[in-house]
Amino acid sequence: MMKRCKEQGEGIRSVAGLSFYFAYILAFLFEGQVLYSLLKMHGANVGGHVLTSMVAHFAGLLTAGLIAASLLSPRQVIKGSMIVCLVATLPFCFPPTYLWSVSLVLGGYASGCGVASWGYYLRRHVPKGKRIGACADVLILSNVIMIALNVVAANVSAPLGLFLAMLCIVISLAFFRGQAGSGTSMPPSASLRVHESTLRKSLALLCLFIFVITINSGLMYQVINPAFQHLTGLVSWYWALPYIVALIIMRNLSVRFSKAKVLYLGMVMIVASFIAFMIVGRRASDYLVVDTLMLGACGIFDLFWWSILGEMLDYTDNPVFVWGVGLSANVGGVLLGGVLGTVLTTLRIGGAEVAVIALTVMFLTLILLPVLNKQLVSLLESHTYLMAYDSLNRQEQTDVLGHDAMYVGLTVREQEVLALLLQGKSNRDIAESLFITESTVKTHVGNILAKYGVKSRVELFSSMLKDFISL
């Protein structure tokens, strides 16, 4: 009981800590209003600085897993990144010099590493069923704080907004002070590793999905937002509101409610927002319509992939890598969308063409979604069956195999390979255990699948275990 309360407390602290840190990133480093206001105040090059920061952030997310695996612990990475961000923000208290660019590179990279490292805390301190709630809480809280910072920066004073952003880092550091997390790696939960190739495929597919769909976010930043920039006051506080509302609704959806339907609703909302942008004017009421549709959809998708990534953390011994790579796909998509939007703006291409591009992106997403769904279901089903088999005692496991008519038709070597497959081992692990080559293992696995008349390991597990294990 005491241990559970302690874990819950650690979970809440890590959520609160990341919320303040993320708010700083959203308000400043990552195309934030605070950064925009400061750059405009000093007449500096907005586009170049923003792009620099985003590219550095992308690089940080992508490489954090390597740092966490070999050099520093996740705790050291996240706290170090906050200190670097704090120091990197100081030059912005003074007029612009080359230090601004250097600081954005350092701060962007460090913040990317810091956000990626939170994957470790999410895995360690938040139980699997509660991760979607934790992710929603971080996104909601960070956006609420970001709105406050944006309002101050846009309507009161940019330097004051900067000071408050720095205060957010200090508060975040206080939350992470004393947090556990000195280990550099973590074994997969329940001592079971889902096949690495399955995890890699699922992660790659999810990243592709995220990348494609966030191209629209980038388009939004470069095409839609500038069209309404004359509504500074409204934009500064309303911009993220539909995003927060969507997150709150998604967070509190009943478990029985089909989340797949919500995803399709999100796609419809994005399409509708671009069509609306094409048709409506540039008044405040028009902005409310376009922004509500677009940011509401963004909220749905952001929580979707944050929660999927959160589930995947159990299948790896480097959660920083999985979390970082997944979120880097998000940033990558925004970057590409931003570049695309800049090109369209330079070429003075109108709303209709932008809507067509957005629709094309949505079409690609629709193709990807069933494939992604199948791969993720395969990953989760595979894990579920293997977990259930692992929970049986040795005699029960022997009975499962003994009652299987097809098992008798396997050669001794094939039976050995099957036993290791049921332990969730990858081809490489099986090869090492049996002192044979990986291509030999692949051949044996192919023979086993063919003898059972199935096409994949998940179908194999299902065929062997479904009569014995109730899920």
Partner 1 sequence: MRIRDIRMRRNCKALHLVTSAGLALWAKRYSSAAAFAFCLGSIVSLVALIKCLVLLYDARLIVDNPVLTVCPAHVYQKDQKQCGGAETIVVSTFGILAGEKAYLWGRKPGGCRLMAAKLEGHVLSLVFGDGKSTMRADVLHGLKGQEEVAGVREKLWRETGVDLTVRDG
Whole-number Cα distances in Å, 97 to 91, 101, 102, 173, 448? 8, 8, 9, 28, 66
Q: How far is the CB of 445 from partner 1 (least distance, A)?
A: 12
Stretch that binds partner 1, among 18-26, 128-136, 166-174, 436-444 (CB under 8 A): 436-444
The binding track of 100-139 with respect to partner 1, each residue x by CB under 8 A or -, is ----------------------------------------
Minimal distance, residue 411 CB to partner 1, in Å: 4
Would you say 369 or 434 has its CB closer to partner 1? 434
Distance of CA 312 to the CA centre of its chain: 10
Nearer to partner 1 (CB atom), residue 130 or residue 451? 451
Q: Among residue numbers 372 through 431, which ones bind partner 1 (CB under 8 A)? A: 410-413
Closest approach of Cβ 407 to partner 1, in Å? 13
**What values do phi and psi take at 298, rounded to 5?**
-60, -40
Applying CB under 8 A, among 130, 201, 259, 451 the residue interacting with partner 1 is 451
Question: Is the distance from CB of 350 to CB of 227 less than 8 angstroms?
Answer: no
List CB contacts of 385: < 8 A, sequence separation 6 or more.
458, 461, 462, 465, 469, 471
Q: Is 182 exposed, middle or buried (0-12, 13-18, 19+ CB in 10 A)?
A: exposed
- Confirm or reject binding of residue 439 to partner 1 (CB under 8 A): yes
Q: Is 446 in the site for partner 1 (CB under 8 A)?
A: yes
Query: By C-beta, is 397 or 440 nearer to partner 1?
Result: 440
**437 is a contact residue toward partner 1 (CB under 8 A):** yes
Q: Total residues at the site for partner 1 (CB under 8 A)?
A: 13
Of the pair 259, 451, the CB lying nearest partner 1 is at: 451
Answer for which of 46, 99, 419, 436 binds partner 1 (CB under 8 A) is: 436
* Nearest in space to 287 (alpha carbons), one of 230, 341, 352: 230
Binding segment for partner 1 (CB under 8 A), chosen from 212-220, 230-238, 243-251, 439-447, is 439-447
Give the C-alpha separation, 152 to 297, whole Å.
26
Residues 6+ apart with CB under 8 A from 216: 270, 274, 294, 337, 358, 361, 362
Least distance to partner 1, CB of residue 308, Å: 35
Measured CA to CA, the distance from residue 438 to residue 223 in angstroms comes to: 50
The Cα 389–Cα 471 span in angstroms is 11
What is the binding site for partner 1 (CB under 8 A)?
410-413, 436-437, 439-440, 443, 446-447, 450-451
